[in-house]
Chain A
Amino acid sequence: DAKTTQPNSMESNEEEPVHLPCNHSTISGTDYIHWYRQLPSQGPEYVIHGLTSNVNNRMASLAIAEDRKSSTLILHRATLRDAAVYYCIHLSHASGGSYIPTFGRGTSLIVHP
């Protein structure tokens, strides 16, 4: 089954860049890498996703390794509102051709003022 590995927690200071790593050595060639974050007492929300190339949006950047076995979510300037649990996921293939998003424990990001 598809599996991702992330550090349990990371810390950063406000307005500094944050690099959140994820290993996904079992990813297949056509699986996208998705990142979600979960703010306290809320449901997860989409951050960014990509396949092979680095991706940027208004929330973050995603750097994908050339062999696609790892990726890094980059928050360019952390704010206190970025304190959350960040999940790196990809879709596990299930019976009948369906795909299931599988979540690990994620990385808890602590941002210090």
Chain B
Amino acid sequence: NAGVTQTPKFRILKIGQSMTLQCTQDMNHNYMYWYRQDPGMGLKLIYYSVGAGITDKGEVPNGYNVSRSTTEDFPLRLELAAPSQTSVYFCASRRQPRGSKNEKLFFGSGTQLSVL
């Protein structure tokens, strides 16, 4: 059981370049999330999705875009990379039956991104 898989693990971008961080899960989870973690800080939510075709902004969405065309995949797009987007990015998923709030999160191993 692979769980949540993120690629790439590391990436260096130049200012203004674009890239897509990939995230896929094989647990048939309806909820998926993208977080970023700056050094010494907690995780901040960028975007989340409650199911295929549905996405919504989190706390820090500016400079990012997402799509959710399938249950399994939730890619995060950076269009014009900026130094402020240097961070570690984590994708997570969880199953949420209607009315339930007790399902646990599963995280990927992260993508370390540097924008120079």
> A residues near B, CB below 8 A?
30-32, 34, 36, 42-46, 49, 51, 87, 90-91, 94-96, 98-106
Contact = CB atoms under 8 A, between A and B. Distances in A.
Residue from A31, A103, A106 having most chain B Cβ neighbours under 10 A:
A103
B58 A44 contact: no
Interface residues of B, number: 27
Contacts of A91: 101
B35 interface: yes
Contacts of A46: 104-106
A34 B104 contact: yes
A76 B4 CA distance: 30
B56 interface: yes
Contacts, number: 62
Nearest to B31: A98
Residue from B33, B56, B108 having most chain A Cβ neighbours under 10 A:
B56
B65 interface: no
Nearest to A48: B104
Main SS at interface, chain A? loop
Interface of B: 4, 31, 33, 35, 40-45, 48, 50, 56, 58, 90, 92, 94, 96, 101-102, 104-110
A80 B12 CA distance: 32
A96 B55 CA distance: 11
A32 B35 contact: no
Contacts of B45: 100, 102
A34 B96 CA distance: 15
